[in-house]
Amino acid sequence: MVEAIKLNDLKNRKRRNTEEEENGSEESEIDISSTDSENEEEPNGEEEIVNIDFDFFSGNPDVDFHALKNLSRQLFGPQESTRIQLSSLADLMLGSPTTTIKTDGKESDPYCFLSFIDFKANRNSDYAKYLQKVDMRLSTFFQTISDSGNKNCALVISERLINMPPEVVPPLYKITLEDVTAALGDDKHYDFYVIVTRKYEVNFDTDDDAESSKKNKNTYERSKKRVKADEVDYFHEEDRFFEKHAKIHFESEARKGVISSYMILDHEGLVKSINELETEISTW
């Protein structure tokens, strides 16, 4: 798949929720040329051009609650999402520096979002408590942050519709990091970032007769097909770079072909990851 996106004047692209900033911002123009299977080639062999305008908005509690909740359910998966109070999490994100991407104005549903939640300020939240129970490495890290007087940490949550191009990721992170600096004041940033994401087994397969597995254990065992570790791919292209610079990285066992991934990066590692992704995209 070949996609080309032009991103200019990023600071002017994020729509704010005040009338003054909305009137003063410029239109966002992102051109996408795609050879995705959804865009069939023309009879003469030329590629179909799809033009989409992506606008960057702050999180809007009056509009984005249900979309953020549903995208969070997609991010964590059907099993893990039942262990999290998604409504409380959506409220938490909308009260934190959060950027959404929309295509039809600020009243439309977001196709993508990125949120930075302050851990120390929300350590007693349902989501923070959930993360501390996931693995001893996370609970130990959070305890170290809690005991530290000058170190801080952000819980990073990001998800997008499956056909959103990765070219939107660098500006999405840069804009939200600017919002974090504005929120913290004194040109500060978070020291560490806890990122939860997921991968998938490329050749995961379930037999058609898996439904009858309750009656036949042998059939059930045949339906539990798994692939080798090197046949795992990413839902989010940026995760390749996050893993490279992560201070801590571990994964869950695969559940129906999906693997939960947990990473902790310092600020330098996060910035390096985004810059390397942006460089990689420029070669496409």
* Residues 92-144: tens digit of each pLDDT: 999 999 999 999 898 999 999 999 999 999 999 999 999 999 999 999 999 99
Average pLDDT, the chain: 82
Say if CB 239 and CB 208 are below 8 A apart: no
Decide which of 3.40.630.30, 2.40.30.10, 3.40.50.300, 3.40.190.10 is the CATH code for 51-202+230-280.
Answer: 3.40.630.30
Say if CB 132 and CB 171 are below 8 A apart: no
Helix and strand numbers (H, E) in the chain are 9, 11
Structure token pair of residue 22:
């909305």
Q: How high is the pLDDT of residue 255?
A: 86
Say if CB 259 and CB 231 are below 8 A apart: no
Ranges in the chain, pLDDT < 50: 1-13, 15-41, 207-229
